[in-house]
Structure 1
């Protein structure tokens, strides 16, 4: 089995309180149950908003700095993810398709080394 990351991408202004209704939440729970029943879900987690992120960097003097906000200034960010144990990329992509539907958001699928 190989491990794949299936990451959900949200726009920077994504607000779960206003953008996730009960139907969407139930679809995500159903997908999680399906993954568990299939024995492919290794780990799953949703992330808090990007506004709550902290970035840690080392400056040119070697000092470690902690700053508010995401590491990269982008228009979207990872809002949650699954780590799946699956046979191959095709199986990971099938789960990614289901994640796109349940989460109503773009999904990225990448294999771990």
Structure 2
């Protein structure tokens, strides 16, 4: 099963992170990612650019409203993710506990990634997506 580990942090944690040596962060993340690669569980991992450079599309109205970052008071920011292929959520939790995300306001959310096999296979759009996945080597 695949699980996504989502890096989340508060505004305060982001501000504190600005004082951390970037090379130290890269070293800690590199060692963590390498450990998952050697264990054969890492499928993908990406960090995200500064939220101030992003936009939010809010679908509460029509047409949707687009707001440029920064977003004012944010309770939590999504900073990046890992996708792991592990046997259970318990194993994903064990990997998440080892992530170099220490400090107040830092969290990892764990969510299972649904497989295409869980959707109705007779649906036209699921068939098209399956064909695309096969064609691109994803299945």
What range is the shorter-chain TM-score in? 0.7 to 0.9
Q: CA deviation at 1:70?
A: 6.7
Q: Residue 79 of structure 2 aligns with which residue?
A: 79
- The answer to whether the Cα contact below 8 Å between 1:55 and 1:70 also exists between their aligned partners in 2 is no
| DSSP-derived class of the 1:106 partner | strand
Larger Rg: 2
Q: Residue 131 of structure 2 aligns with which residue?
A: none
Hey, what's the Cα distance between the residues in 1 that align with 2:21 and 2:76? Answer: 17
- The answer to whether the Cα contact below 8 Å between 1:24 and 1:103 also exists between their aligned partners in 2 is no
CA distances 1:1-39 after superposition (whole Å, capped 9, x unpaired): x11111111222515553344333211100101111111
- The answer to whether the Cα contact below 8 Å between 1:54 and 1:68 also exists between their aligned partners in 2 is yes
Q: CA deviation at 1:93?
A: 0.5
Hey, what's the Cα distance between the residues in 2 that align with 1:59 and 1:10? Answer: 25
Q: Residue 103 of structure 1 aligns with which residue?
A: 101
Name whichever of 74-83 and 62-71 sits farther off.
62-71
Hey, what's the Cα distance between the residues in 2 that align with 1:30 and 1:85? Answer: 18
Indicate yes or no: 2:10 matched with 1:11: yes
Q: How does 1:55-70 map to 2 (within 5 A)?
A: 55-58=56-59, 60=61, 62-69=62-69
| DSSP-derived class of the 2:44 partner | strand
5+ residue gaps, structure 1, are none
Number of matched residues? 109
Cα RMSD (Å): 2.4
| DSSP-derived class of the 1:87 partner | coil
Q: CA deviation at 1:66?
A: 2.4
5+ residue gaps, structure 2, are 115-139
Hey, what's the Cα distance between the residues in 2 that align with 1:82 and 1:33? Answer: 12
